[in-house]
Amino acid sequence: MEQDLNQFVQAILIASDPTQSSLHQQALEYLSAVQQNSSAWRLALAVFVEPGPDGGRKHPPQVRFFALRVLDEFLDNRFEPLDDETFQALRQSVLNYIQTEYLYGTAEADASFLRNKFAHTLTLLFLCTYIDKWPTFFNDFFALIHPPESTSQTTFNPHVSLLLFHIILEISGEVADQLIKSARQYSAARQARDTRVRDAVRERDAARINEAVLTIVADGVERMSRLRKDGAAGSSERELDSAIEVVDWGVRTFASYVGWIDINLTVTRDTVPLLFTLLSDPSLPIRLATALALTRIVAKGLKEPGDKLQLIKVLSLGQVLDALEKKTRSEQTSRGSNTDEGEESYREALGKLLNVLGLELCKLTDECPDESIRSEASQLLNQILPVMLRFMADEYDDTCSTVFPLLQTILLSYKRQRKSSPEPLDPTKRSFLSSLLTVILEKLKWDEESDPEDMDEDDKAAFEELRKELRTFMDSILMIDPELVTDSVRTLALNTLTAYQNGVSLKWNDAELAVYLVYIFGEINKSGGKGRSAFCQAPAVQKDKRKETDYSEYPLTSHGEMLYALIQSGISAYPHRTVVMQFFETVARYGDFFKVRKECIMPTLQAMLDVQGLHSPESSTRSRVYYLFYRFIREDRNEISPEVAVSLLESIRDLLVIQVELPELENPESQDILQEAVSAPTIFDSQLYLFEATGTLVSLLHKTPDQAAALLLSVVRPLLDELSVSLQAVKGSSDVLPILRVHHIIMALGNIAKGFPEYPNPVPEGYVAPPLDVFREVGQAILVCLEAMNVFRVVRDATRFAFARILATTGSTVAQLIPALMANLLAHFEPTELIDFMNFIGLSIHKLQEDMMDVLDQLIGPLSAHINGILAQPVTGTDDQVTHTDTKRAYLGLLNSIISSKLHTVFVSDRNKAQLENLLESMLRLAEDPSDPTSEKAAFSFLGRCVTVWAEPTKTPGAQQVLPGFERFVYERVVPTAFAVISLPQFNIKDGQIVVVLQEIANFLQTVSKTRGQEAFDFFVSVFLPSQNWPQATALEFATKMRELDGKAFRKYFTDFVRASRAGS
């Protein structure tokens, strides 16, 4: 045994010292083998308790800590009783250890972490022995707490007392703490064992445990009082610290079990005064522990509502908390800017206590059937509401938020009462809501000492989250008393803005709150109209006459008044960045207001253009205002005159300089600097909004085409010149900056085009086209760059983007550039570009229609072959699966786009007709796969369109069909496939996506029926459906419905038919 023990100790020492590399792994393997041994606990127990020659312990703390871990493994999850010999060995060793180490020793003074670990191990021993082997556990412990007669000690042993407290805390955690239970893996045996232990403790020892804990606490309180009175110094100070520690842990222990033992034991005429005394104790830990204990007492579940009400009345916590809130708030005020986090945590604990008290009273007022109990509980609740508001008004958000659950419950109760009764709101409740709203509006303010632009992101996010929560309370009050909220918000915002306009000095956070209230008023004012009517009390005006209507003669709504005051106040010039940014956010949000008060447009734009906005030295400000300016221009472009548009453009011309930034790479060897540079967020991303706004401003000159063309050219010419210079600077892939500059300029040119309205199709009479020659020149310049730089993906991506925007703006004007564009985009091609490329072709088809025919004729064959090759490859992972699915869907989208744009002849051209059969076969495969309903639907949609264009009978006798024999393919292959799909077991018609596929199949079948007419009717009635064993009458009914019903009615009939047939099979 001695040799094994020494080996065990040496192995632990080596294992805990990684520097002993040669033996480290060997030691770990040895210890692992020892732990598998059923008698390992004996070694561990001996190592832990073995005394040393100096009266202490023989082995180092880390060795003994590992020994306790071995004992834990032996005892934890043990649900069978220990044998007598094992139990007696453990019990005797533990009691001897406690007596020598805690009663007469230093209680592990040199390794305090061992105290907590031993308490846990002893708890595990208790859990598996208390019921059957060690029912006297607590009696044995209590015997150790009382001072031995052989000593001069007159009080309870503090070491043993603290050990007892830790053990009871551990026991409570193991058998009653739901948080701990939910954190570990569920075990039915453990759950049953813990329940038996909890019930046994309640029955046998709860009274004695409670008496012992409270007696030790009371003794500690008496010692604290005496020592404080005498003035603690030297050894007396240590005694006072010891007494405080005992009382602190004693109250924590009391708090741990009040929830699961009889309330009559814990709430008595002795305990209540003791707890209230400790709730005001000078020691912060004691106060916090006491607040927790009272919180758990109040929250304890009681069967009878009358008992709960009596408990609350006995405690009289409302008055106590009222007094303590006033006292702690006074102390908080006297501290000024000197924060005491400890004392703030005490106010937080008091807030939590009040919150639980209020929630329990709410349960009684809302759920109790006894009217007298409800009435009394309601009175008590009303008494604590002012205290709740004071906690909510606390400047520290953690304290403020402690009462949020109570407030939410109260407001929910008010909302229920409001819905169920048409009577006006009770004056008392309205007064409370008014006071609450005052608190909310004050708490919505930033701290005056904070700077949101230069504060920790977590702190900023925390305040934004607080604002959201406060907003939900405001919304709740709004549902109860809308007028109260809208009037309060409107009054505060208007008063603040008017004061500023009149020259009154405002704190920045007051100014920001006023602007913020205008910002959120659109969400608050649920009764407000939409569009212009949200801001102006005008009669309904037809959409086509709104531009001619003069709204200035109509009075403003409340929100309109607030926005008008916001603009007129000049608060956009307030010398604080947060205020100004909130102003910009607000005006950009409510663009419709400026359509009814056009005189507010110029002051707003001038504010955006100055050094606090677009021309700010702060890049983060510029970045955001670029977007807000674009949004404002886009929303109110029809209210901006051509003269103003030219002026605005001149004001931002200096900002239209391309800014290129290179990111710092984490792994330069493996990362593509170009891809990282274009994907990393930079100010250029925001600058693109400015280029789009530029395009919008130029487009406002559409009535003077020559001026518009000249102005557009004045914007794009510097970019085209810079594009040419950058192109010439690119000699190879190492010229990163000029390559990026080319990318950025192409993107900017695309965004300028995006700012123009889309080219109409068909073109209406009198339409004035945009400067097509300028855009043609831009397109040509981009194409030149692409031809020279098509090896760079960033240039290909930017070109696709820009041409998509230019096509949308100019229609077929640049059609002659498309063949060369496609050739260069495909010259160097990465698989991941395929989806974007197909989407681009789809857009080109939509805009260019028949002008795309020649390009498609050359493209569709190789593209289809390439895609079918990709789709045929095995899928090896999640990313592969996503790419595979997206590619398939983009391809189907392209095919449907081609055929719906009447470009289907491309499939039967001399170049491509040999590939048609393969194309149709691939569509059938996709139509048969219910694992991807979106693609399956698209495949049936394509096949239905094919029927429309290729299966139409000839109108002239003797004329040849476009695709002779195509109807046979439909009858022999596609129709059977459609019916086979709906019979598949995995075709789950309870799935909404599958129902959509089912309806597309209905569309396809009806298309066949209506396209081929009587021939199709005969085919279904006489050939196909009988071959599927359909009764004649059913086949006839089905074919008749398919022929005679409209599309919507047949889809419903078909869906119900399939559902019924699947249910009956």
Say what the pLDDT of residue 197 is.
Answer: 95
Peptide bond into 762 cis (omega under 30): yes
Say what the pLDDT of residue 232 is.
Answer: 55
Q: What is the pLDDT of residues 56-106, one digit of tens each?
A: 788 899 999 999 999 999 999 888 889 999 999 999 999 999 999 998 888
- Alpha carbon 753 to its chain centroid, in Å, reads 35
Q: Report the percent of the chain where pLDDT is more than 70.
A: 97
Q: Provide the pLDDT confidence category of residue 521 given band limits of 50, 70 and 90.
A: very high
Say what the pLDDT of residue 527 is.
Answer: 67
Give the chain's mean pLDDT. Answer: 91
Say what the pLDDT of residue 692 is.
Answer: 98
Beta carbons of 755 and 694 less than 8 angstroms apart = yes
Q: In this model, does residue 672 exceed pLDDT 90?
A: no
End-to-end C-alpha distance for the chain, whole angstroms? 74
Say what the pLDDT of residue 423 is.
Answer: 82
Torsion angle defined by CA atoms of residues 1018, 1021, 1025 and 1029, in that order, rounded to the nearest 10 degrees: -140
Q: How far apart are the C-alpha atoms of 318 and 340, rounded to whole Å?
A: 25
Secondary structure of residue 536 in the 3-state scheme = strand
Kindly report the number of other CB atoms within 10 A of residue 803's CB atom.
26
∠ at Cα 529 (527, 532), nearest 5°?
Answer: 150
Helices (H), 755-833: 772-789, 793-810, 818-827
- Rg of the chain taking only CA atoms, in angstroms: 40
Q: Average pLDDT of 768-797? A: 95
CA distances to 86, 350, 678, 744 from 798, rounded to whole Å, are: 78, 60, 10, 8
Q: Provide the pLDDT confidence category of residue 959 given band limits of 50, 70 and 90.
A: low
Torsion angle defined by CA atoms of residues 98, 99, 105 and 107, in that order, rounded to the nearest 10 degrees: 20
Q: In this model, does residue 791 exceed pLDDT 90?
A: yes
Q: What is the pLDDT of residues 643-655, one digit of tens each?
A: 999 999 999 999 9
Q: Average pLDDT of 17-25? A: 75
Q: Average pLDDT of 306-324? A: 94
Kindly provide the b/e burial profile for residues 486-501, where b requires at least 16 CB atoms within 10 angstroms of the residue's own CB: bebbbebbbebbebbe
Q: What is the pLDDT of residues 448-492, one digit of tens each?
A: 988 888 888 899 999 999 999 999 999 999 999 999 999 999 999
∠ at Cα 372 (371, 377), nearest 5°?
Answer: 100
Say what the pLDDT of residue 4 is.
Answer: 75
Q: How far apart are the C-alpha atoms of 958 and 956, rounded to whole Å?
A: 6
Q: How far apart are the C-alpha atoms of 48 and 61, rounded to whole Å?
A: 9
Q: Provide the pLDDT confidence category of residue 544 given band limits of 50, 70 and 90.
A: low
The tokens describing 581, both together, are 């940014």
Say what the pLDDT of residue 308 is.
Answer: 94
Q: Provide the pLDDT confidence category of residue 147 given band limits of 50, 70 and 90.
A: low
Amino acid at residue number 405: P
Closest CA to 227 of 210, 211, 247: 247
Q: Provide the pLDDT confidence category of residue 154 given band limits of 50, 70 and 90.
A: low
- Alpha carbon 146 to its chain centroid, in Å, reads 56
Q: What is the pLDDT of residues 961-998, one digit of tens each?
A: 778 888 999 999 999 999 999 988 888 888 889 999 99
Say what the pLDDT of residue 23 is.
Answer: 80
Beta carbons of 44 and 71 less than 8 angstroms apart = yes
Q: In this model, does residue 36 exceed pLDDT 90?
A: no
Say what the pLDDT of residue 21 is.
Answer: 67
Q: How far apart are the C-alpha atoms of 388 and 471, rounded to whole Å?
A: 18
Q: How far apart are the C-alpha atoms of 962 and 964, rounded to whole Å?
A: 6
The tokens describing 786, both together, are 């692409």
Q: What is the pLDDT of residues 800-824, one digit of tens each?
A: 999 999 999 998 888 888 888 888 8
User: Lowest-confidence range among 146-150, 289-293, 448-452, 639-643?
Assistant: 146-150
